[in-house]
């Protein structure tokens, strides 16, 4: 399930994150890639766990906390602190699947990567190329969103970033361990939650249909959630 979330960050928050990153040092992105992914990866990153990454990441985590679409789509149990990458001209990331287990910095624990997220920090007109290409059962989905917009998709998906031919593409990326590990079940719960919100906009909350469908959602979540 691929879900685009508009305006996760406000214009002011995008500007602040960019200010932090512009004043920071960038390192070779291969430093955080697994052995196989490192072969396909050519980009730059802010060092994981650096003060800049933590400061900019806190802005994103606060935005995630107030966004109902992210909670509905990802059903987050744990969210890895956001990381930041940059693709300049000629840089790319070939087709790969994200690693399944991530270490949470400073927490002496690991988490399962169920949902991958890419938050765009550059406007589409600032660069050519740089599409996020995600392969799913419906074929290839090409994603290039406005600054401040987020896309979430299953971490099991084969995906790539096409080469930059002009400008520079800046993004944040991170992973979520969901309360519901199965993507098919998460997709059903997301569709059901969207339907509930639409029905509640038309009918009073005490209507039998509203109560029934809301109860069904929570009973499915109760059955499938892992805490």
- Residue ranges per domain, the chain? 3-178, 183-224
* 3.40.50, 1.10.1060, 4.10.860, 1.10.10: CATH of 183-224: 4.10.860
The b/e string for 52-89 (b: 16+ C-beta within 10 A; e otherwise) is bbbebbebbeebbeebebbebbbbbbbbbbbbbbbbbe
Tokens for 73, please give them.
């789509």
Give the model's pLDDT for residue 108: 85
Burial class (CB within 10 angstroms; exposed 0-12, middle 13-18, buried 19+) of 5? buried
SS3 158: strand
Q: pLDDT tens for the chain, 227 residues: list them.
A: 999 999 999 999 999 999 999 999 999 987 666 565 667 789 999 999 999 999 999 999 999 999 999 999 999 999 999 999 999 999 999 999 999 999 998 888 999 999 999 999 999 999 999 999 999 877 899 999 999 999 999 999 999 999 999 999 999 999 999 999 999 999 999 999 999 999 999 988 888 989 999 999 999 999 999 99
Give the model's pLDDT for residue 37: 63
Give the model's pLDDT for residue 204: 86
| Sheet with 132-136, side-by-side order of all strands | 41-42, 92-96, 158-161, 132-136, 139-143
Give the model's pLDDT for residue 40: 79
- pLDDT for 59-92, tens place per residue? 999 999 999 999 999 999 999 999 999 999 999 9
Rg (the chain; Cα; Å): 18
Name the CATH architecture for the domain at 3-178: Sandwich (2.60)
């Amino acid at each position: 399930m691929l879900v685009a979330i508009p305006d996760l960050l406000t214009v002011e928050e995008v500007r602040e994150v960019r200010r932090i990153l512009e004043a920071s040092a960038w390192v070779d992105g291969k430093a955080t890639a697994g052995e196989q992914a490192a072969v396909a990866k050519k980009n730059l990153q802010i060092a994981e766990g650096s003060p800049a990454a933590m400061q900019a990441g806190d802005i994103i985590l606060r935005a995630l906390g107030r966004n109902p679409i992210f909670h509905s789509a990802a059903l987050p149990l744990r969210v890895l602190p956001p990381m930041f990458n940059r693709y300049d001209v000629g840089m790319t990331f070939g087709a790969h699947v994200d690693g399944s287990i991530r270490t949470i910095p400073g927490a002496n624990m690991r988490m399962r990567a169920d949902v991958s997220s890419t938050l765009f920090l550059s406007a589409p007109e600032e660069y050519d190329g740089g599409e996020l290409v995600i392969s799913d059962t419906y074929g290839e989905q090409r994603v290039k969103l406005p600054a401040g917009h987020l896309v979430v998709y299953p971490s099991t998906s084969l995906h790539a970033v096409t080469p930059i031919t002009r400008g520079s593409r800046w993004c944040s990326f991170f992973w979520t361990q969901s309360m519901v590990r199965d993507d098919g079940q998460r997709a059903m719960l997301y569709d059901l939650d969207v339907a509930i919100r639409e029905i509640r906009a038309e009918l009073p909350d005490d209507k039998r249909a509203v109560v029934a469908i809301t109860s069904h959602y929570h009973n499915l979540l109760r059955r499938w959630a892992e805490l």
